[in-house]
């Protein structure tokens, strides 16, 4: 006699990736079954979706691991509270997955895109990006979103069968849309839009939190801004007698929860006409996921404040200048003597020219590696460098 309990129909329906997705995801989500595949054909995995494989390939890449040593806004010498490029990336993934799950979008794809979104950042954050862009003026320039595509398609060498990570075309096209925001070749997928929105929520909130911790901004000043004031009001209505530190953290949580709720509400409204249809690609083209007008305006004011008071703060600018002089000197020295490049990048120089290969090498460095390389491998240029290793690290 068969004593096995009968399989419940929902369980059977979830046995394959495609069946599970068709049960859980909205029709307008990017279902794995509709993926355009990979540049180099590979058989499907028996139980991981193509986008889950993309996520795993990104997590296991060297470029991803190096995010832990790369600046988000503040370098290591300013303390150990603030975000690195890696923790920012994980916060973006966490926020984006929440939004995507609630809107019934493809969470695997969202996570892959979120973990990928800053992989092309050079050391020293936007200071590093600006200097490489200047070095490559007239030679294609440098942009971290475009660099991420080079990492995924060329620079990571983990597989014998193909260069790069051979990610799904949806991931590559979404990253290309980030790189060419003004004139994207394809309208961004809803999943990519969620990651963009989550990135903006994460950095506007956490950069302010880090700046408060470092004393670059004062809490009382932040609370005069409408968005922080409204969030603090919501916190105080729920609990009283908070210390300043407790209030600050509660406001940060409230700000994220508020913005995520706003994105979910506006997203639901905009997606409502498409819930019952199967016109996935049409929805992807017609719907823009963005905050409500009210939140967008308040956020823009905060971004302006961050730009004026945090990103251009003298202590941030001082580190920026030291980082830039080190990167520029290494770029010029390596361009003059490309034989000093590691073998992998000498190979790239033969393919793409020395300037691009030098920039690939420098962009892949962590902050700490860049400082050590500069001080120890280019002592002739580092002698009069205004920063010492301990200052900038």
Chain residues that interact with Mg ion, rule: CB under 5 A: 118, 199
CB 117 within 8 A of CB 199: yes
In terms of CB distance, is 202 or 264 closer to Mg ion?
202
Least Å from the CB of residue 13 to Mg ion: 37
Q: At what angle do helices 190-213 and 107-116 cross, to 10 degrees?
A: 50
In terms of CB distance, is 232 or 289 closer to Mg ion?
289
Q: Which residue is nearest to Mg ion (CB)?
A: 199
| Paired strand residues for 269 | none
Least Å from the CB of residue 260 to Mg ion: 16
In terms of CB distance, is 179 or 219 closer to Mg ion?
179
Least Å from the CB of residue 177 to Mg ion: 15
Query: Closest Cα to residue 366, out of 147, 123, 150?
Result: 123
Least Å from the CB of residue 117 to Mg ion: 6
What end-to-end distance do the CA atoms of the chain give, in Å?
Answer: 70
Exposure string of 169-190, with b = 16+ CB inside 10 Å and e = fewer, is ebbbbbbbbbbeeeeeeeebbb
CB 148 within 8 A of CB 119: yes
d(CA 343, CA 302): 45
Helix/strand/coil percent split, the chain, to 5: 65, 0, 30
Least Å from the CB of residue 96 to Mg ion: 11
Least Å from the CB of residue 203 to Mg ion: 6
In terms of CB distance, is 192 or 349 closer to Mg ion?
192
CB 194 within 8 A of CB 289: yes
Query: Closest Cα to residue 191, out of 30, 356, 326?
Result: 30
Least Å from the CB of residue 202 to Mg ion: 7
CB 85 within 8 A of CB 67: yes
Least Å from the CB of residue 4 to Mg ion: 49
Q: Tell me, letter by letter, the H, E, C secondary structure of 120-142.
A: CCCCCHHHHHHHHHHHCCCCCCC
Least Å from the CB of residue 355 to Mg ion: 26
In terms of CB distance, is 87 or 315 closer to Mg ion?
87
In terms of CB distance, is 108 or 118 closer to Mg ion?
118
CB 23 within 8 A of CB 10: yes
Show Cβ contacts of residue 308 under 8 Å, excluding neighbours closer than 6 positions: none
Least Å from the CB of residue 105 to Mg ion: 19
In terms of CB distance, is 68 or 282 closer to Mg ion?
68
CB 62 within 8 A of CB 169: no
**DSSP count for the chain of H helices, then E strands:** 21, 0
d(CA 308, CA 288): 29
In terms of CB distance, is 203 or 331 closer to Mg ion?
203
In terms of CB distance, is 207 or 262 closer to Mg ion?
207
| Paired strand residues for 164 | 157
In terms of CB distance, is 144 or 150 closer to Mg ion?
144
- Could you tell me how many residues make up the chain? 393
């Amino acid at each position: 006699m068969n004593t096995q309990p009968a399989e419940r129909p929902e369980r059977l329906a979830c046995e394959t990736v495609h069946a599970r997705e068709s049960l859980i995801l909205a029709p307008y989500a990017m279902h794995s079954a509709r993926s355009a595949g990979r540049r180099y054909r590979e058989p499907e995995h028996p139980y991981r979706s193509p986008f889950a494989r993309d996520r795993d390939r990104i997590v296991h890449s060297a470029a991803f691991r190096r995010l832990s040593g790369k600046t988000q806004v503040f370098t290591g010498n300013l303390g150990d509270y603030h975000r690195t490029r890696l923790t920012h990336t994980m916060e973006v993934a966490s926020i984006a997955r929440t939004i995507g799950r609630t809107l019934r979008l493809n969470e695997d794809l969202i996570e892959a895109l979120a973990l990928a979104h800053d992989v092309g950042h050079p050391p020293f954050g936007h200071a590093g990006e600006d200097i490489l862009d200047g070095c490559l003026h007239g030679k294609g320039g440098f942009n971290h979103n475009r660099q991420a595509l080079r990492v995924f398609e060329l620079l990571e060498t983990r597989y014998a069968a193909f260069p790069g990570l051979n990610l799904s075309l949806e991931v590559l096209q979404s990253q290309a849309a980030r790189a060419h925001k003004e004139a994207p070749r394809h309208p961004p997928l809803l999943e990519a839009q969620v990651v963009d929105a989550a990135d903006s929520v994460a950095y506007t909130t956490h950069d302010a939190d880090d700046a408060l911790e470092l004393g670059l901004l004062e809490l009382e000043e932040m609370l005069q801004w409408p968005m922080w004031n409204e969030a603090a009001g919501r916190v105080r209505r729920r609990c009283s007698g908070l210390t300043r530190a407790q209030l600050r953290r509660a406001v940060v949580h409230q700000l994220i929860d508020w913005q995520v709720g706003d994105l979910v509400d506006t997203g639901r409204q905009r997606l409502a006409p498409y819930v019952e249809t199967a016109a996935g690609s049409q929805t992807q083209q017609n719907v823009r996921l963005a905050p409500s007008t009210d939140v967008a305006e308040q956020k823009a004011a905060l971004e302006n404040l961050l730009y004026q008071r945090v990103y251009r703060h003298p202590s941030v600018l001082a580190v920026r200048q030291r980082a830039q002089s080190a990167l520029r000197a290494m770029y010029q020295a390596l361009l003059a003597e490309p034989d000093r490049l590691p073998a992998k990048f000498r190979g790239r120089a033969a393919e793409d020219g020395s300037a691009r290969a030098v920039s690939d090498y420098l962009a892949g460095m962590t902050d700490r590696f860049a400082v050590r390389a500069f001080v120890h491998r280019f002592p002739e240029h580092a002698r009069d460098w205004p920063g010492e290793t301990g200052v900038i690290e």
